Amino acid sequence: MFPVSQTFVADPLPAAGLPHCDTPVDADAAEAGRLAALRDLALLDTPESESFDRITRMAGRLFAAPIAAVSLTDAHRQWFKSHVGTAGREIPRELAPCAEVTARGDVLMVSDLQQDPRFRDSVLARSGIRFYAGAPLVTRDGHTLGAMCVLDQHPREASEDELASLRDLAAMVMAQIELEHDYGRRDPLSGLPNRHQFADDLADLARAHAGAQRVLLLVSLLDPARLQELIGVMGTGCIDSLVQASSRIVKDRSGQGCTAYHVDVVSYAVLLDEAQAGTWTSVMDALSAALSAPVVSNGIPVQMAPVFGVSPLLVGGASADDALRTAISAASDARAADLGCAVYSPASDAANRRRLTLLTDFSTALAGGDALSLVYQPRIDLHSGRCAGAEALLRWRHPVLGDISPAEFVPLVEQTAFARPMTEWVIGAALDQQAAWRAHGAIIPVSVNVSARNLEEADFMPRLADHLARRGLPADGLELELTETALIRNAEHVLAQLEGLRAMGVTIAIDDFGTGYSNFEYLRKLPARAVKLDRSFVGDLGPDIEARALARAMIGIAHDLGLRVVAEGVETQATLDVLRAWHCDEVQGYLTGRPMSADALVCQLDDDH
* pLDDT digit string, tens, across residues 449-474: 998 788 888 899 999 999 999 999 99
Per residue in 321-332, pLDDT (tens digit) is 999 999 998 999
Per residue in 370-397, pLDDT (tens digit) is 999 999 999 999 999 999 999 999 999 9
DSSP single-letter state for residue 15: P
Q: Which residues pair with 71 in a beta bridge?
A: 80, 147
> Residue 540's pLDDT is what?
66
> Residue 544's pLDDT is what?
65
DSSP single-letter state for residue 475: G
Per residue in 263-291, pLDDT (tens digit) is 999 999 999 999 999 999 999 999 999 99
Length of the chain (residues): 609
Spatial contact of 58 and 162, defined as CB atoms under 8 Å apart? no
Per residue in 496-527, pLDDT (tens digit) is 889 999 999 999 998 877 665 555 666 777 88
Percent of the chain with pLDDT over 70: 92
Q: Measured between alpha carbons, how far is 55 from 70 in angstroms, rounded to an integer? A: 9
3-state secondary structure of 188: coil
> Residue 543's pLDDT is what?
65
> Residue 64's pLDDT is what?
94
> Residue 518's pLDDT is what?
53
Q: Measured between alpha carbons, how far is 515 from 531 in angstroms, rounded to an integer? A: 12
Of 361, 367, 459, 375, the closest CA to residue 416 belongs to: 361
Residue 17 has pLDDT above 60, yes or no: no
| Single-letter amino acid code for the residue at 191 | G
Higher-confidence position of 338 and 430: 430
> Residue 546's pLDDT is what?
74
Spatial contact of 527 and 507, defined as CB atoms under 8 Å apart? no
Percent of the chain with pLDDT over 90: 61
Torsion, Cα 120 122 123 127, to 10 degrees, reads 0
Q: Measured between alpha carbons, how far is 90 from 71 in angstroms, rounded to an integer? A: 8
Exposure letters 579-592 (e unless 16+ CB within 10 A, then b): beebebbbbbbebb
Least confident of 22-31, 40-49, 60-69, 349-358: 22-31
3-state secondary structure of 570: coil
* pLDDT band per the 50, 70, 90 thresholds, residue 11: very low
Q: Measured between alpha carbons, how far is 357 from 412 in angstroms, rounded to an integer? A: 11
Residue 22 has pLDDT above 60, yes or no: no
DSSP string, 31-44: HHHHHHHHHHTT-T
Spatial contact of 237 and 295, defined as CB atoms under 8 Å apart? no
Residue 9 has pLDDT above 70, yes or no: no
Rg for the chain (alpha carbons), in Å?
35
- Residue 71 φ/ψ, nearest 5 degrees: -110, 120
Residue 76 has pLDDT above 90, yes or no: yes
Q: How far is CA 485 from CA 345, 395, 415, 488, 524, in A?
A: 32, 23, 14, 5, 15
Q: How far is CA 122 from CA 73, 89, 115, 294, 438, in A?
A: 15, 16, 11, 48, 96
Residue 437 has pLDDT above 90, yes or no: yes
* pLDDT band per the 50, 70, 90 thresholds, residue 42: confident
Spatial contact of 423 and 374, defined as CB atoms under 8 Å apart? no
- Residue 301 φ/ψ, nearest 5 degrees: -75, 130
Spatial contact of 70 and 56, defined as CB atoms under 8 Å apart? yes
Q: What is the strand order of the sheet 258-264 is part of?
A: 258-264, 267-272, 213-220, 307-314, 341-343
Least confident of 228-237, 275-284, 398-407: 228-237
> Residue 409's pLDDT is what?
93
Of 222, 215, 214, 293, the closest CA to residue 252 belongs to: 293
The distance of Cα 423 from the centroid of its chain, to the nearest Å, equals: 27
pTM (two decimals): 0.58
Least confident of 404-413, 447-456, 582-591: 447-456
The distance of Cα 559 from the centroid of its chain, to the nearest Å, equals: 46
> Residue 24's pLDDT is what?
63
* pLDDT band per the 50, 70, 90 thresholds, residue 1: very low
Q: What is the strand order of the sheet 131-138 is part of?
A: 90-92, 77-84, 67-73, 144-152, 131-138, 108-110
Q: Which domains are assigned to the chain?
A: 24-182 (3.30.450.40), 195-344 (3.30.70.270), 380-392+419-608 (3.20.20.450)
Query: Which stretches of 490-572 are DSSP H helices?
Result: 491-504, 520-525, 535-538, 545-560
How many CB atoms are closer than 10 A to CB 467?
17
Q: Which residues pair with 110 in a beta bridge?
A: 132
Residue 15 has pLDDT above 70, yes or no: no
